[in-house]
Structure 1
Amino acid sequence: MTEDANHTDLQTIIGETGEVGLVRLTFTQPLRVPAIDPLTFEQWSRLVACPQCGTSAGVALEARDRSAVAVCPSQACARAWPANDVFTASQIRQMNHLRLQGTEVTAPHPTQVTVNLVPELAGDDPAQEEDPRADDDGSTLDAEARWTIGAAAVHDQHAPPLVVCLGWSRGLLGWSLPAEGELYERLYPPAGGSALDAHMTQVLLGLAIHQAALHQTQYEIRGLELTAIAAELDPGRAHELRGTRPAGLGADGGRLRRSDARRLATAPDTDRDRWLHLAGEVIASHCEDDFPVQGHKRENLPLSTRVSLRTSTLGPRRQRFLNPAALDFTWYQRAPATSVAPAEGPI
């Protein structure tokens, strides 16, 4: 579906008050979506129209937090009804992103995220911290060093584990960002979010994946349980991530950027707590059940309660939902690492 076909004069409203992560797309022409008979599997296109008055031209689709809602354009009716069977909240936000980029507006995959909304942090220095083992003769290896070498040797990884963990972190955020209203508002710059917060959320989530794999001696990162990652982000132990500095693999890198290490060390507690909270929201969006706990809003519950005990491992549960473009294992360390003297100056 292209803008010329069904999105003629598509209008958009972002961030109205009262709804978390609100995006509204108004279709000035009647909108038709694919449909299928569940018994005969016959396929056809279904007209999206108000169930009360039958109006089809000018129907608006809204992304409200995790839900999609259709709104009748008739002022005399103004009926709103659930529209997840038309487009999901994630699809609506992805289409809006395409429009903001000035590219052809097409309908994204209903479950995969095919449009990457994760912002880049412009101007960030990619130089890494110094190798803490540079002077070691290699005669003795601690547990972390042995695990790092083993994880880097796993088939299809062949990179220092922190690099792999940050690739998964970016993929997880790439899936959650258009689907979750709070993350969309806080981390997507066109909706008022912060590219720095998005970057540091990925860094802390990557560190949580790294530490969970290390603590469980899990060499293949995609086999890590999501609940183990969530445990590292539990408020009772998340503060430990602030001081986590993976040693990496010598000239192959796998260490934090100096700029990120400095932010974690010197940023106000309010900033670091916000980054940890947002990292927890990302992993919770992949872990928690879709059914709300009776009598509670999900954001008011501790992370450990929100994580379903039935969740699977990282790869099988989430990889099928992540477009290959979102699973970028080179975004954090794109070139061979070079250790240089720390630079002076602000974050």
Structure 2
Amino acid sequence: MGEDDRMVNTLSHLGIGLLIASVAGLNKRQIKIVAFMSILPDLDFILNVLFLAIDGHLNHQVYNVLYYMMGHREFMHSLIFALFVTIYIWYREKDRMLIIASGAAILSHIYLDYVTSWKMRPLFPFIKETSTIGAIDFFDPLITVISFIPLFYIMLGRVRANKNNGVFGNRNNSSSKVNSHIRSLLQVNGGWFNGSSKGEHRSLYRKLLTIFVIWCVFNPLAKAVLVSDLEKTEGHEISYQDSYPISPGIFLSAYEFNETTYKILISNYWSGVDKERFVDKCYCDQDSSATYITRAQLLYNSSLPGDVDYPVYNVSTYDSNVTVVLSDARNPFAQYWAYFKTEYIFVFYTDSENYDVYLKRNVQYNKPLPVGMFE
């Protein structure tokens, strides 16, 4: 997922947090606390940057422990983290409504990530296996619109404040422009937060928040019905959590058709199966490549995050090495989605037990991976 996508996602979380705070009838300071809680889990990117800076110096055991604690959408996207934060707010503030709103804001963030497309460990450290609901597209139009409405009011207030302070008119010198911007920002914050604490737009926000909750509950149920229909049509079990939304109402599913082939399905709520394809599990001479495929399997299975669900192997041999490219069978069918644009490239040297591993993720270059990730 690109940085721009992450920014849009964080703004959506912020908008939902502002809705929750406004409906709860909190004061300006409390609204800011709840708004911060709604984006707090995404601050794990700071820990993730630190982790990437040291991961090449870690052995396998330490690498896995730190990945659980510092990786993006790992510990800071878990229920136990939300509980710790809520308890801390209760200890500091002793305000029941603030505690409820803060807990709802951070849980809305975790759930919204969990109900979209990315595997997480919400019950870590009790359950370390990844899972996802994967029922709502990352850029779901309804959630995007709902979450951006309070942000729109803030921006609208800023434009009005700029006009009132003559920011668009009088530009005598740089000092006055800086002071005007500072005053306008303070007035916008004060104006919007004052308005929310006084109940302005609360009826609208309550309705929007209700629609948001209903939508988040409805979609997982609708997906369950779709997956059930797919199973009846195919006569085969279809994984619920491995059926991913690739656009609003359209899902990408797969299952093992036979020993050598996967069947890929693209389905939607309106017409069921729209497209189907078959993908070979291995592009290679399996007899001569079996040893290297097994080595690649063992190394990958020991690593995190474990984002390949339907492994496909492409093996090529050169003078001094054998290259095994591991990807997911669904990769070609999610053109604009980084999650399925991941390839692990294992380079095994035939004259020794040494190997190198590279990561290719939706780009044209390969990034070397630390050995500690695998052993």
TM-score bin, normalised by smaller chain: under 0.3
Query: Which structure has the greater CA radius of gyration?
Result: 2
The structure carrying a bigger helix percent of its residues is: 2
Return the TM-score normalized by structure 1.
0.25
The structure carrying a bigger strand percent of its residues is: 2
